[in-house]
Amino acid sequence: MKTPYAPVKIILADDHEIFRDGFHSLLKNQTGIVLLAEAANGQQLVTLTAKHLPDVVLTDIKMPVMDGIEATRIITEKYPQVGIIALSMFNDDKLIIDMLEAGAKGYLIKNAHKTEIIDAINTVAQHNQYYCSATGIKLTQLIANSRFNPNDPNSKMIFSDKEKEVICLICQEFSNKEISLALHLSIRTIEGYRERILQKTNSRNTAGIVVYAIRNNIFIP
């Protein structure tokens, strides 16, 4: 586990130079994250990972020479301590599943917001999984039913009946306001519930809650 104050060392892999340049600009003044190297394909990524041993690798999925899926498989096997985040152009659901099954700890869509990218990097650096906030309901179901099954230390959590009710409504894409109306509780209370559920499920966002809920049979889609 990383010490809280050491910067997170990352490597980026993408075959588009312009994308790498944009990504570099985005993080250039970001404290706490250091971009060590950039790779243009999976093979370069594997070599650079061996050389630098970063905390986190962010990699495109479709690349020439060697794709992100194969690179993820190799890195996961050789350097299991390296957290891998898949970068997907859009929600290419099936490709994301391939990446997670190959060993990626999380994924982001390429046009994700800066704060989300930073959040994802820090989450994966702490060896937790990260699901992009733009995750659709279909993808959460695919993830929950996939072979991707990270060790979740909190999987034996106990939820109150009310918490389970809130979880089920979250899974049905209810907003806090809609949940408060459905359960006759104040929005404040619901926000409190949501916060507690995020903590208990060790999730960063709704997508994490939904995957957890489906996987633990709290919600059956």
Partner 1 sequence: MDTKESTTYHAVLIAAAVIGTIIFYFIVSVIRQQRKHRLLYKAKIEAEITTLEKERARVAADLHDELGPTLSAVKFKLASIEKLNGEDAVTITKASHYIDTILHQVRNIANDLMPNTLLRKGPADAIEEFIDHMTVNSGLKISFRPENMPVIPQSHAIHVYRIIQEIIHNTVKHAGATKLKIELYAHKNKFIIATADDGKGFNYNTMIKEKNGLGLSNLRSRTEILSGELHVSSRPGKGTTFIIEIPIPG
Q: Enumerate binding residues for partner 1 (CB under 8 A).
A: 14, 16, 18-19, 21-23, 25-26, 28-29, 60, 62, 89-90, 92-95, 110-111, 113-114, 138
Cβ 195 to partner 1, closest distance in Å?
26
**For partner 1, the closer CB: 6 or 26:** 26
**For partner 1, the closer CB: 142 or 166:** 142
> CB-based contacts of 190: which residues, under 8 Å, 6+ apart?
166, 176, 179, 180, 183
Torsion from C-alpha of 54, 59, 65, 69, nearest 10 degrees:
100
Cβ 85 to partner 1, closest distance in Å?
15
**For partner 1, the closer CB: 138 or 188:** 138
Tokens 């794709």 identify what position? 67
**For partner 1, the closer CB: 45 or 167:** 45
Cα angle 112-79-58, degrees, rounded to a multiple of 5: 15
Cβ 31 to partner 1, closest distance in Å?
13
> 56 with 82: CB under 8 angstroms?
yes
> 201 with 215: CB under 8 angstroms?
no
